[in-house]
Amino acid sequence: MTNIITTPVSRRAMLKRASEIAGMGAAAPLALNLASMGDAAAATAPGNDYKALVCVFLYGGNDHPNTLIPFDKMNHARYLGIRGGVSFQRKDLIPTALTPIQPQTLTDDLQYAFAPYLPRLKVLFDGGKLAPLLNVGSLITPVTRAQFDGSNRALYPLPPKLFSHNDQQTYWQALGSEGSTVGWGGRIGDYALSSNDQALLTCISASGNAVFVSGDKALQYQISPSGAIPVKGIKEAGYGSPQIMEALHQLITAQSKHAFENELTTIMRRSIEMEGIVNGALSKVSLNTNFDLVPGENSLADQLKIVARLIGARKELGSRRQIFFVSLDGFDHHSNLSQKHNELMSKVDEAVAAFYVATVEMGVQRDVTTFTASDFGRTLVNNGDGSDHGWGSHHFIIGGAVKGGRYYGTAPHVSATTDDQVGQGRLLPSTSIDQYAATLAHWFGVPDSEMATVLPNIGNFQGRNLGFL
Amino acid sequence: MKTQANRPTTLAAITDAEAARFLLRAKFGATDADIAAVKAQGYAGWLDAQVKSARGQSGAAWLDSQGHNAITKEAEYFNPTAGDFMIWNQLLAQPDEMRQRCAFSLSQFFVVSLNPIDGYWPPYIMAAWWNILLDEAFGNFRTLLERVTLNAGMGMYLNTKGNLKEDPKTGRAPDENYAREIMQLFTIGLYQLNPDGTEKKDTAGKPIETYVQADVTSLANVFTGYDHDMSRVKFLRVAWQNFPVVTAEFTSDPMRLEAKNHSSREVNFLGLTIPKGTPAPDQLKLALDHLFAHPNVGPFFCRQMIQRMVTSNPSPAYVKRVADVFADNGQGVRGDLKSVWRAILLDPEALAPADPGDSMSGKLREPVQRILSWARTVGVDPGDGKYKIYNLSREDTGIGQSPLRSASVFNFFRPGYVPPHTAIAKAGKQAPEFQITNETSVAGYINFLQTALRFGNWQFKPTYLALKPIAHDPAAVVDWFNLHLTANQLSPATVTLIATALASKGITPAGDDKDKLDMIASACLLVMSAPEYLVQK
């Protein structure tokens, strides 16, 4: 296979194609698709020893029933019957209906379609670069419906505070309750600290503070969409004076015996020390991928763009193994689900697809794996014009290393009465976060012998590699 | 119970620094007049006076006065940004400052954020919401809880507006959002608490949950059938759009019950059964009474309010003393909020001098509190009075926080947040405000200060009237800021460091205004960047 990515002309041609795809509506034929581009550029440069995991967290609890939607007639009719007014009609799903690359038989012969607002992700699925993981969620140990309904919590413990936003966000990120200080992304990062010239650039949040990227040793480094923020007052005297500049520097970086004060100056020292290094490296990155494919602000696209630029600066920064965290808010769609969820799906589609194109542009699409997470799934039963907090959900893994174009996990019945749900269509997860995480961690290079340190409950589950990578 | 704080305060006992320390908790700023008032009236007398003091202009009246009620083809009635102007005006300029400060603390417990509020009149929706918090800031928790529940903005934020009863034909179920959050966040929390705010444990040493999913699902029935009250609203036909403009009365009227949309099912939650067919208003009363009576409410609410006003890590005994006052204000009244603030601010643990050996004392000042404290203390010229201060939530270009702009109902930060990899975490302590503190925010904040302290924010300019006459005396300038912004919590070494650096400006009494302002703003920047200021002890 010709490695067209390394020749500037082809790269431009490919970007042109990317922008053409971006300009198309959902119904347009996506003949020039991202996936074929990915295949064409698949041969990653030799000696490119780099790997990154990128967690896309959908805050608020993504409505999985309207993200990956039953499409075959029988199951769509069930979906319509249970969801009522917040459903998609079958005809609206035709353009984003999914056909696995190899025939795959799911529960009740389910076939799915993506939300109509995910046309670019559909292209990635078709090209084998995206895999949905079905009904994954927080579990300590596998549980059946009967065990869930029973009272033997010693034998069948449940994660703390199911259905509660903050607690389940923390469980997804740290496999513990709110107040946890170590996340599984950070624990994976602990194994990578020595791989990077700048250990602080191992675990990076382009979103707010997130326990996901805090390890036992690894610290979260936070970066804004425009890069690291310099403290202007210690670089230019402005209306002050050189002496005032120096005093400011001293004040904001001095150690203190008071723990809160000391933590502030510790963060400030990290901020100042990394700013020059990071911005210096970023200034040399030229990234042509367009992250602004549809009108309107998209904070997820802004965050993924700075992640892409940091990946672009990996050689300059001596980064070889990195964990990133980005997020999008607003998924708690108790009402007006149809409109608001569509808007957010569009943003996810734009941001994640652009990010994949960027990894192709940089020739690292096989070295960067992006995956989604969220507080919880939602009820299949509607509550008027929205849905309520659920448990298990469907998630996506995207990247050149992903064995995509097929499903992983077990498809749940489209039902509010079967034993794979716990009422109102709240899915009882059939795959645990731990298994999802273990598969990602294995790909990233965490040795199997260390997996129980990263994921303390992994031993409770059969199958620690789900095979999507 | 007789505490030190309940003894009559000897007036001479209060120093300027003690008065400033008290003021910087009880409200935002600490001017010379404020300090003099506290010294003259004593802490308790000052608090009494604040509770009785006149209300400021309401947010809605201010919006009207600025013409934000105009119905024109620009369709400003859809524009949320005047909601930011409104709340900044309230917090920065209205005279009932302690009430504003207490309402700001309440707004972080009962959260409605402007972020998702859309449709007609978002600024008026937020003004009505804010007005409820102000109305009840010195009132009763139970009254507040009911007004919160039926508020138009809360109805939108947590979906009680338009919440329909079950429909067996379609399988539709009532929305559970408000039922869940009123328990988890607004009253009892997740785990059973002792009166001192610590968690009760079962025989296995595990915390005991307060409610389960079935409680949420059943309580959700109580909150069905409500919608915005459009009975006073006028639907105006206008030339520039083909649907009517709705007038703003619905924003301040409590939501209205539509009986046919209300569930008449039996309700069972937290051990209470409300019989099938109980009229909706009675059902609501019974449910809210039941929540209000739960023993968790006092310690759960009071601990968080202590965290907002005084310290991130109050002792269990401190929490209990305040929660006891919540349970009974001494006159048999439960939930009397003015007594709660008093108990928080006058507790011996709050008034005892900061222990220099305690490395976990106090709290990180919230970014919004820093800006308000500065503006209320140094004096500002509001220019044209439009208060065009926007959402400052961005960490890179703003201050990482903006009033009534929380990212979710879980507030800007969680009360139990523990910053990883810190001595704070190792000691098992909490530091909520660190949840919005990171490499970006610490730099963004100082950059924001650098502009705002010298040039103001849009039309909003600092005057530093008290400082200009002493601008030639660096030590006096630093002392002024140290007292008024930090209650003299800067160490002698820091004071010297700042004064020495400021001397480099070489300001003389005859120097021009611009140079003096450069020097004063530099002094303020150094003080407000200093960790000894940022941590309020």
> What pLDDT digit, counting tens, does each position of B375-418 carry?
999 999 999 999 999 999 999 999 999 999 999 999 999 999 99
pLDDT band of A47, cuts 50, 70, 90: low
Of residues A163, A181, A268, nearest to B442 (C-beta): A268
Q: Can you list the alpha helix ranges (DSSP code H) found in B347-490?
A: 348-351, 367-378, 423-426, 439-455, 474-486
Model confidence over B35-55: pLDDT tens digits?
Answer: 999 999 999 999 999 999 999
- What is the average per-residue pLDDT within B307-328? 98
Closest in A165, A211, A266 to B410, CB measured: A165
Domain-wise residue ranges, chain A: 4-222+288-460
Quick one: CA dihedral B119, B121, B122, B127, positive or negative? Answer: negative
Q: Quick one: pLDDT at residue A293?
A: 87
Name the strand (E) or helix (H) holding A108. none
SS3 call for B536 = strand
Task: Write phi, then psi, for A327 (nearest 5 degrees).
Answer: -155, 160
> Which residues on B lie below 8 Å from A219 (Cβ)?
420-421
Q: Is the dihedral of CA B10, B16, B18, B23 positive or negative?
A: positive
- Could you tell me the CA-to-CA distances from A64 to A104, A351, A369, A408, A424 in Å, in that order? 20, 18, 21, 15, 14
**Once rounded to an integer, what is the mean pLDDT over residues A308-327?**
97
CB contacts of A186 in chain B (<8 Å) are 420
Task: Output the pLDDT for position A6.
Answer: 23
Q: Which DSSP state fits B9?
A: P
Indicate the pLDDT class of residue B458, thresholds 50, 70 and 90.
low
**CATH of region A4-222+288-460, choose from 3.20.20, 3.30.70, 3.40.720, 1.10.1060:** 3.40.720
Residue B170: per-residue pLDDT:
80
Would you list the DSSP string of A333-375? Answer: -SSSHHHHHHHHHHHHHHHHHHHHHHHHHTT-TTTEEEEEEES
Question: Cα–chain-centroid distance for residue B378?
Answer: 22
DSSP A251-266: HHH---SSHHHHHHHH
Asked whether residue B9 carries a pLDDT value surpassing 80, the answer given is no
Q: Does residue B490 surpass a pLDDT of 70?
A: yes
- Report the gap between the CA of A254 and the closest CA in chain B (Å): 9
The label of the residue with tokens 């009620």 reads B69
Cβ-nearest to A267 among B217, B414, B442: B442
Predicted confidence (pLDDT) at residue B149 exceeds the cutoff of 60: yes
Q: Does position B30 have pLDDT exceeding 80, yes or no?
A: yes
B411: phi then psi, degrees, rounded to nearest 5: 65, 175
Structure tokens at B50: 């604040």
Tell me the mean pLDDT in the region B93-121: 97
- Cross-chain Cβ contact A383/B180 below 8 Å: no
Q: Region B96-108: what's the mean pLDDT?
A: 98
pLDDT at A23 over 80: no
Determine contact: A182 vs chain B, CB below 8 A.
yes
Question: Is pLDDT above 90 for B534?
Answer: yes
Q: Taking residues B56-66, what's their average pLDDT?
A: 98
Residue B304 has pLDDT above 90, yes or no: yes
Is residue A46 over pLDDT 70?
A: no
Position with higher pLDDT, B11 vs B323 = B323
Strand partners, A398: A130, A370
A251–B504 CB contact, under 8 Å? no
- B260, containing H or E segment: none
pLDDT greater than 60 at residue B10: no
Distance CA(A338)–CA(A341), nearest Å, equals 6
Measuring CA to CA, which residue among A332, A291, A328, A335 is closest to residue A309? A291
A window 34-63, beta carbon within 8 A of B: 59-60
Say if strands A393-398 and A368-374 run parallel, antiparallel, or are unpaired.
antiparallel
Q: pLDDT digits over B187-246, tens only?
A: 999 999 999 999 999 999 999 999 999 999 999 999 999 999 999 999 999 999 999 999
| Phi, psi (deg, nearest 5) at residue B346 | -105, 5
CB contact under 8 A, B175 and A386: yes
Identify residue B344 by its one-letter amino acid code: I
**What residue type is A407 in one-letter code?**
Y
Q: Per-residue confidence at A85, pLDDT binned at 50, 70, 90?
A: confident
Q: In the prediction, which pLDDT does B16 show?
A: 98
Q: Is A209 on the interface with B (CB under 8 A)?
A: yes
Residue A143 pLDDT grade (very low, low, confident, very high; cuts 50, 70, 90) = very high
- Confidence tier at B1 by pLDDT (50, 70, 90): very low
Say which range, A6-20, A435-449, B159-173, B420-434, has the weakest mean pLDDT: A6-20
Residue of A239, A333, A341 to mutate for B, most B C-beta atoms under 10 A:
A239
* Nearest chain B CA: its distance from A304 CA (Å): 16
pLDDT digits (tens, 9 = 90+) for B324-341: 999 999 999 999 999 999
Mean pLDDT of chain B: 95
Q: How far is CA A297 from the centre of its chain?
A: 19
- Following CA atoms A69, A72, A73, A79 in sequence, which dihedral angle do they give, to the nearest 10 degrees? -20
Asked if pLDDT for residue A4 goes beyond 60, the answer is no
Q: Pick from A84, A219, A229: which is nearest to B444 by CB? A: A229
CA distances from B495 to B358, B476, B477, B485 (A): 21, 10, 10, 13
- pLDDT value, residue A62: 98
Q: Tell me the C-alpha distance between A253 and B34, whole Å.
A: 33
In 3-state terms, what secondary structure has residue A122?
helix
Residue B251 confidence (pLDDT) above 70: yes
Are A244 and B505 in contact (CB < 8 Å)? yes
**Cross-chain Cβ contact A263/B525 below 8 Å:** no
Note the pLDDT of residue B12.
55
What is the pairing mode between strands A393-398 and A130-137? antiparallel
Tokens read off for B235: 């639907």
The whole-angstrom separation of Cα A1 and Cα B220 is 60
Of B363, B395, B494, Cβ closest to residue A224: B395
Q: How far is A199 from chain B (nearest CA, A)?
A: 15
Question: Residue B307, Cα to own-chain centre: how many angstroms?
Answer: 11
pLDDT of residue A177: 85
Asked whether the predicted pLDDT for residue A51 surpasses 60, the reply is yes
Could you tell me if A339 lies within 8 Å of chain B, comparing CB atoms?
Answer: no
Q: Are strands B245-246 and A321-328 parallel, antiparallel or unpaired?
A: unpaired
**Helix H or strand E encompassing A203:** strand A203-205
Q: What is the mean pLDDT of residues A165-182?
A: 93
Give the domain ranges of chain B. 49-351, 363-536
Q: Which pair of tokens denotes residue B148?
A: 């919160």
DSSP one-letter code for B468: G
Distance CA A285, CA A265 (A): 30
Only one residue has tokens 């696995």, namely A100
Q: In the predicted model, is pLDDT for residue A35 greater than 50?
A: no
- φ/ψ of residue A250, rounded to 5: -65, -45
User: pLDDT confidence of A33, banded at 50, 70, 90?
Assistant: very low
**pLDDT band per the 50, 70, 90 thresholds, residue A36:** very low
Report the amino acid identity of residue A358. Answer: A
According to the model, what pLDDT value does residue A25 have? 40
The region of weakest confidence among A31-40, A316-325, B189-198, B437-446 is: A31-40
DSSP letters along A286-322, please? Answer: -----S--SSS--HHHHHHHHHHHHHHTHHHHT--EE
Which contacts qualify for A33-36: CB closer than 8 Å, 24 or more apart?
Answer: A33/A123, A33/A126, A33/A127, A34/A120, A34/A123, A34/A124, A34/A127, A34/A129, A34/A353, A34/A356, A34/A357, A34/A360, A35/A123, A35/A124, A35/A126, A35/A127, A35/A128, A35/A129, A36/A127
The reply to whether residue A270 touches residue B439, judged by beta carbons under 8 angstroms, is yes
A contacts of B412 (beta carbons < 8 Å): none
The predicted pLDDT at position B179 comes to 98
Which residues of chain A lie closer than 8 angstroms to B153, CB-CB? none
Residue A37 has pLDDT above 70, yes or no: no
Per-window interface: A 92-151 vs B, CB < 8 A: none
pLDDT at A48: 63
Confidence of residue B247 (pLDDT cuts 50, 70, 90): very high
Examine the pLDDT at B11 and tell me if it is beyond 90. no
Q: How high is the pLDDT of residue B2?
A: 40
DSSP secondary-structure letter at B421? T
Residue A385: is its pLDDT beyond 50? yes
